[in-house]
């Protein structure tokens, strides 16, 4: 979508949005490339070290079969369908099939615990869920509390309480007439954490993919170029994996490497990127910090990078210098949030990259640092990053929560909640959050959800969760608890409380530090 240009200013002058009157993500990211040529779409690096390539032709046939199968199971246009899967071909097929049907896909993180899943599936009124055997076990424990969830599909073979993925697809026709959707028709529902209360569902229309394209192309050095191959260790359940990598790449007909480590292993990641000749990557700052610990990677691995983007936390000069030495490219930082993603970015090929700066406004997006009165502030003044509506990448609103949607705006400015200042050259410099959302390992974590989980533990009477500095993760979750009567502090109880949150919410949300709130007695670690 971005035009060719030699400078950032030229790029901005030449850019114009092209949003058609009728548009469906599933058709755009799959069917338009399925011309019988066998054009590669996915390279799946399996967990046993094998490789399986998928063409756009195969993705079209599989996603058509899934759309027909879901329709046969009673899923209709506008129904919500959860996708509880890690990176893999079934995940891509699931989203494409759901979107072609005109239903709404809900990306769900495989490390979510029962409480996190129950809230999202219940709040969304999900009609169906596609998952694997591990996800099915979690759902079995809460399914009776999800009366609207009428269908569960398991990709791992026949299982009690679930339809078998392979059988469904084999029985269904592989031709399908996609839903005739408009850009603003609901497409994807992604839950995001806030500071108070439970997570909110950010509902996006089909135009969200088109809205993402400039913000993907700019930090990826005017992506795509011939020979590009994209990979990210970020799960496709997050907007950074699904809409920063998978769907934009497929839109451009660029293959995606599909593999997510159960636990990120820096040496194995270098080997993976070198083995497949990855040319483009989204590497969150925490992954970069872990990769940096590997000794002499540039000497040991034959890396082929053309571009690397990173977002979620600010990169320092040291990490940028290491990136140039290791990968041979400048890591371009970018910025956005689930409600309005990829609106600020760097592009080293077009403009200087300033260490610590998030970048400049991506073409097509009208941004400012605004004050409490909703007026743009001059360079050097601190205020809230605002994005002016309408904007193709902006969410339609919070699911069933018009009050929260209204609070997100001040006039025509969507307020990100991030404090920043703008310099004379138009670079945004992050200052901090104006709330207490915790940023850990690239994840945005709402303390309210953690606190609600903690107080359900029988030993906890009151609880508070905060973020504290951490060299690797930027912040880690720290919990202060008041113990219920009859319970005494111990290392065993601390571990029990940590595991309680880890298994019910998610592994990235559990408190790595637990303190008993008592003036004269604190746990030592």
List, in order, residues 6 or more apart from 101 with CB less than 8 Å away: 67, 70, 71, 75, 77, 178, 179
Confidence of residue 215 (pLDDT cuts 50, 70, 90): very high
Inform me whether the pLDDT recorded for 435 exceeds 70. no
According to the model, what pLDDT value does residue 443 have?
Answer: 83
According to the model, what pLDDT value does residue 520 have?
Answer: 42
* Secondary structure (DSSP) of 296-314: SHHHHS----SEEEEESSP
According to the model, what pLDDT value does residue 194 have?
Answer: 62
Q: What is the mean pLDDT of residues 124-139?
A: 97
Inform me whether the pLDDT recorded for 449 exceeds 80. no
Q: Tell me which of 205-219, 367-381, 436-450, 465-479 is least confident.
A: 436-450
The CATH classification number of 58-206 equals 3.40.50.980
According to the model, what pLDDT value does residue 522 have?
Answer: 42
Closest CA to 356 of 298, 314, 414, 413: 314
Token pair belonging to 53: 């390539």
Three-class secondary structure assignment of 177-194: CCCCCCCCCEEEEEEECC
Confidence of residue 498 (pLDDT cuts 50, 70, 90): very high
361 backbone dihedrals φ, ψ, rounded to 5°: -60, 130
First to last CA, the chain: 51
According to the model, what pLDDT value does residue 437 have?
Answer: 72
pLDDT tens for each residue of 263-317: 899 999 999 999 999 999 999 988 998 999 999 999 999 999 999 999 987 888 8
Q: What is the mean pLDDT of residues 327-345?
A: 97
Closest CA to 109 of 87, 124, 125, 90: 87
Q: CB burial class (10 A; 0-12, 13-18, 19+) of residue 158?
A: exposed
pLDDT tens for each residue of 185-203: 999 999 997 656 789 999 9
According to the model, what pLDDT value does residue 176 have?
Answer: 98
**Is the pLDDT higher at 254 or at 442?**
254
Q: CB burial class (10 A; 0-12, 13-18, 19+) of residue 22?
A: exposed
Q: Tell me which of 36-50, 144-158, 301-315, 462-476 is least confident.
A: 462-476
Handedness of CA 273, 274, 278, 281 (dihedral sign): positive
Q: What is the mean pLDDT of residues 242-249?
A: 98
Q: Which CATH superfamily is domain 438-516 in?
A: ANL, C-terminal domain (3.30.300.30)
Q: What is the mean pLDDT of residues 141-152?
A: 97
According to the model, what pLDDT value does residue 521 have?
Answer: 44
Domain spans in the chain, listed from the N-terminal domain onward: 58-206, 438-516
Task: Find out whether the peptide bond into 224 is cis, omega within 30 degrees of 0.
Answer: yes
Token pair belonging to 97: 């099939």
SS3 content of the chain, % helix, strand, coil (to 5): 30, 25, 40
Q: 90 and 130 in contact (C-beta within 8 Å)?
A: yes
Confidence of residue 507 (pLDDT cuts 50, 70, 90): confident
Average per-residue pLDDT for the chain: 94
319 backbone dihedrals φ, ψ, rounded to 5°: -70, -35
According to the model, what pLDDT value does residue 523 have?
Answer: 45
Closest CA to 345 of 329, 322, 367, 325: 367
Closest CA to 108 of 239, 294, 261, 288: 239
């Amino acid at each position: 979508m971005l035009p060719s240009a030699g400078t950032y200013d030229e790029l901005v002058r030449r850019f114009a949005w092209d949003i058609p009157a009728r548009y469906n993500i599933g058709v755009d990211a799959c069917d338009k490339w399925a011309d019988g040529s066998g054009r590669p779409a996915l390279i799946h690096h399996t967990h046993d070290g094998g490789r399986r390539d998928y063409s756009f032709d195969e993705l079209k046939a599989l996603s058509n079969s899934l759309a027909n199968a879901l329709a046969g199971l009673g899923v209709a246009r506008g129904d919500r369908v959860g996708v509880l899967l890690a990176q893999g071909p079934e995940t891509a097929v699931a989203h494409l099939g759901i979107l072609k049907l005109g239903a709404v896909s809900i990306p769900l993180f495989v490390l979510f615990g029962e409480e996190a899943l129950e809230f999202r599936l219940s709040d969304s009124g999900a009609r169906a869920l596609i998952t694997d055997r591990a996800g099915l076990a979690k759902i079995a424990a809460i399914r009776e509390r999800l009366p609207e969830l009428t269908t569960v599909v398991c990709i791992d073979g026949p299982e009690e309480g679930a339809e078998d993925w392979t059988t469904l697809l084999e029985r269904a026709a592989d031709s399908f007439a996609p839903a005739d959707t408009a850009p603003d028709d609901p497409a994807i529902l992604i839950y995001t954490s806030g500071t108070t209360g439970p997570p909110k569902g950010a509902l996006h229309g089909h135009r969200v993919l088109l809205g993402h394209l400039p913000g993907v192309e700019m930090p990826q050095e005017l992506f795509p170029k011939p020979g590009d191959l994209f990979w990210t260790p970020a799960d496709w359940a997050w907007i950074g994996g699904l809409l920063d990598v998978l769907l934009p790449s497929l839109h451009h007909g660029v293959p995606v490497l599909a593999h997510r480590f159960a636990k990120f292993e820096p040496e194995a990641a270098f080997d993976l990127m070198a083995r497949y000749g990855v040319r483009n990557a989204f590497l969150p700052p925490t992954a970069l910090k872990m990769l940096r610990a590997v000794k002499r990677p540039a000497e040991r691995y034959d890396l082929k990078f053309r571009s690397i983007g990173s977002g979620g936390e600010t990169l320092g000069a040291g990490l940028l210098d290491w990136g140039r030495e290791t990968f041979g490219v400048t890591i371009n930082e970018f910025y956005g949030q689930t409600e309005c993603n990829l609106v600020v970015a760097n592009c080293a090929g077009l403009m200087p990259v300033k260490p610590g700066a998030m970048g400049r406004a991506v073409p097509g997006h009208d941004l400012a640092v605004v004050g409490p009165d909703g007026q743009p502030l001059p360079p050097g003044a601190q205020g809230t990053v605002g994005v002016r509506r309408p904007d193709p990448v902006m969410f339609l609103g919070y699911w069933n929560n018009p009050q929260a949607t209204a609070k997100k705006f001040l006039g025509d400015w969507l307020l990100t909640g991030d404090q920043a200042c703008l310099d004379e050259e138009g670079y945004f410099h992050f200052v901090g959050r104006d709330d207490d959302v915790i940023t850990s390992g690239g994840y945005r974590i709402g303390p309210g959800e953690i606190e609600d989980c903690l107080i359900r533990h029988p030993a906890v009477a009151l609880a508070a969760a905060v973020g504290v500095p951490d060299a690797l993760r930027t912040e880690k979750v720290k919990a202060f608890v008041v113990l219920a009567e009859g319970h005494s502090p111990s290392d065993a109880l601390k571990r029990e409380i940590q595991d309680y949150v880890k298994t019910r919410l998610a592994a990235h949300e559990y408190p790595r530090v637990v303190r008993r709130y008592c003036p004269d007695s604190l746990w030592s670690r």
